[in-house]
């Protein structure tokens, strides 16, 4: 993008397994923008709760502890980082225990309020703009984003992608992944605070039959179209 342009905010929302992180990071790298993986932030909080033996099913306990972990999300698209209390947790936050608990922790209003503050601060600190991915970017965190994209894909496609990432070929294990994806979809869409939903002005992109490169190219085209319209 033109260095003279004003900072741009591009957001990608959607359920797990639609390729948000991979696509968002690549878009940010190609356009010279910062990158924010908000899902990693919620995972980092969840990891801290589990490590400190907070009962993640106790809403009051999670709310009380929500301001204790110091979560810092590095926004360099070429090497994004995530730390809690100064410790790199990029590996541990992807473990199954965190995956199983993150929806419950993310649903706690106090957790979301704190994370939204950090996410907006990251955008303000991005000199050229930011590409942020998550589940409520376009509806809650950045309602005035320059471009909102809502990624979708069938649950079966998303389960197959997750299995491929993990090197899983067993049919029973793939079915278990599908069950977990459906569970997370229901939890994310049904929570009272900032549920997963498409913003009214978002562009929906079904990635079921698209490669990551095709999705990246398509969205970069949308970004440039919006930038041209803004300048024109």
Instruction: Give the annotated binding-site residues for ATP.
Output: 14-22
Can you say which residues are annotated as belonging to the binding site? Answer: 14-22
Is residue 197 a contact partner of residue 143, using CB atoms and an 8 Å limit?
A: no
CA separation for the pair 113, 90 (Å, rounded): 22
Is residue 191 within 8 Å of 107, Cβ to Cβ?
Answer: yes
> Distance between CA atoms of 228 and 106, rounded to whole angstroms?
36
Backbone phi, then psi, for 203, in 5-degree steps?
A: -90, 120
**88 half-sphere exposure, CB direction, 13 A CA radius:** 6
H helices within 14-80, ranges in order? 20-31, 38-51, 59-65
In angstroms, the CA 148 to CA 142 distance is 9
Backbone angles phi, psi at 109, to 5 degrees: -55, -40
């Amino acid at each position: 993008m033109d260095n003279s342009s004003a900072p741009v905010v591009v957001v990608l929302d959607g359920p797990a397994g639609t390729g948000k992180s991979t696509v968002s990071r690549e878009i940010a790298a190609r356009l010279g923008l910062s990158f924010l993986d908000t899902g990693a932030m919620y995972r980092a909080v969840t990891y801290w709760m589990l490590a400190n033996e907070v009962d993640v099913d106790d809403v009051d306990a999670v709310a009380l502890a929500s301001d204790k972990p110091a979560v810092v999300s590095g926004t360099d698209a070429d090497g994004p980082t995530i730390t809690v209390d100064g410790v790199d947790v990029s590996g541990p936050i992807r473990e199954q225990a965190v995956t199983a608990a993150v929806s419950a922790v993310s649903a706690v209003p106090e957790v979301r309020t704190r994370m939204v503050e950090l996410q907006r601060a990251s955008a303000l600190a991005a000199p050229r703009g930011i590409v942020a991915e998550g589940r409520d970017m376009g509806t809650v965190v950045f309602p005035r984003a320059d471009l909102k994209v809502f990624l979708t894909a069938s649950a079966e496609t998303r389960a197959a992608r997750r299995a491929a990432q993990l090197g899983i070929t067993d049919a029973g294990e793939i079915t278990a992944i599908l069950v977990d994806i459906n569970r997370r979809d229901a939890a994310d869409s049904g929570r009272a605070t900032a549920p997963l939903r498409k913003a009214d002005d978002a562009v929906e992109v079904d990635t079921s039959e698209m490669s990551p490169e095709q999705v990246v190219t398509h969205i970069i085209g949308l970004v440039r179209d919006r930038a041209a319209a803004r300048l024109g």
